[in-house]
Amino acid sequence: MAATDLAAPCIRWGRLVRLDVVAVAVALATWAATMAASGQSADTRARSIAATCANCHGTGGVSVGDLPSLAGKPREEIVRAMQEFKSGARPATIMNQLAKGYTDEQIEALAGWFAAQKAPK
């Protein structure tokens, strides 16, 4: 068997892989556009983003542990803290990494949502 016989499937496979990557990218872009145009309210989007904080800061932003509750905190305070975590200006164990995953718009949305919630007693 010649070396070119072995290389041919690899070349075809390489093209196939590139096409799969392109297909996935197109599918994700289509999904994102569909979600943006789905008529989902700003509050629903904000609530969905804020839900990612529930594992540590409690359902609805009301913590049952040692971590601070976010419910009822001023929007500006949450935005400032998240931006400081994101930039690394505020020391943390995990929030520095988590904050980097949010866009400024998402931070504004989740901060507004938590600010609108009832603060814990």
State the Cα angle at 96 between 91 and 102, rounded to 5°.
145
Over residues 2-17, mean pLDDT: 48
* Three-state helix/strand/coil letters over 2-32: CHHHHHHHHHHHHHHHHHHHHHHHHHHHHHH
Q: What number does CATH give the domain 41-121? A: 1.10.760.10
The answer to whether the pTM exceeds 0.75 is no
More confident of the two residues 11 and 101: 101
User: What are the tens digits of pLDDT across the range 53-101?
Assistant: 999 999 999 999 899 999 999 999 999 999 999 999 999 999 999 999 9
Q: What percent of the chain has pLDDT over 90?
A: 62
Cβ neighbours for 2, distance < 8 A, ≥ 6 positions apart: none
Mean pLDDT of the chain: 81
For the chain, give every domain's residue range.
1-39, 41-121
